A and B are shown apart, each in its own frame.
Chain A
Amino acid sequence: MAYGNAAFAALSDPTRRQVMERLAAGPRAVGDIAVGLPVSRPAVSQHLKVLKEAGLVSDRQEGARRIYAIDPKGLGAMRAWLDQFWDVALTAFAAEAERVAANDEKEDAP
């Protein structure tokens, strides 16, 4: 299945979901996010970059540290979910509409 949705693609990775869970508790620096995660700190930085590009995470410089934060309303993730949900729903709708249309045609045939 292809996703034309950067946020959804970003959240399909389990480590990135863990990063998002940690950020849901509040803004954090890379080092704090990485504690206890089974990946290296540079790898966490790379995941943060993907999440930022997908519009799910923002960052700001605070002294020597870069602080990462989640969109506080979670709307980026919500929109990504809805986008994917409606793909699934409308695909099912189209299949059902075409099944009904094909049946009607059969019944109308002499």
Chain B
Amino acid sequence: MSLAIKPAPVKKTLVVAASPQTAFEVFTTGFDRWWPRSHSIGDSPLKTAVLEGRQGGRWYGLLENGAEAEWGDVLAWDPPNRLLLAWRIDAGWKYDPALLTEVEVLFTPEGSGTRVNFEHRLLGNMGAEGEGARAMFDSEGGWGTLLQMFAAEAAKAS
């Protein structure tokens, strides 16, 4: 019996009161100024979130202890209209260079602002490896971390 599911992409649409140029710059160059600190993955708190602005650039976190936590890389760099990132964090919260999930962000002018179409897709790849699935349940940083994150968010929301 197979219980595997194919998770749908996470899609978000928002309109921001800023030009596509500004929105693109803030999303990329200004990455560290908005990336949520509470959701850092790693052994140490996040110090600086970095997104290198070029195709093939890296996307990573500088941790307080000096280590770097890799998240992925820039697959397409097309300012100010489109950004395509590879998110290579697996279901066990580990960086896996062989894993591909895609984060695409489209910036389209709308009135005096910008429509931002966001999509995080190919999420099924996170479970492509049987080993990865087991790691998620076995590792302290996997399933337990995920449930703790839900607990923390729920506490904040209530």
Contact = CB atoms under 8 A, between A and B. Distances in A.
Interface string A2-30: 01000010011110010011001100000
B147 A17 contact: yes
B126 A78 contact: yes
Interface stretch (A31-39, A43-51, A89-97): A89-97
Interface string B21-56: 011011100100111101100000000000000000
B5 interface: yes
Interface residues of B, number: 51
Given A93-B27, A97-B22, A81 B150 contact: yes
A97 B5 contact: no
Contacts of A82: 10, 120, 123
A24 B137 contact: yes
B26 A78 contact: no
B14 A94 contact: yes
Given A55-B5, A74-B127, A96 B39 contact: no
A72 B116 CA distance: 34
B16 to A, nearest CB: 5
A71 B5 contact: yes
Contact of A97 (B23, B132, B153): B23
Nearest to A74: B136
B34 A86 contact: no
Contacts of B156: 1
Interface of B: 1, 3-5, 7-8, 10, 12, 14, 16-19, 22-23, 25-27, 30, 33-36, 38-39, 91, 114, 116, 118, 120, 123-124, 126-127, 132-133, 136-137, 142-144, 146-147, 149-151, 153-154, 156-158
Interface of A: 1, 3, 8, 11-14, 17, 20-21, 24-25, 55, 58, 60, 69-90, 92-98, 100-102, 104
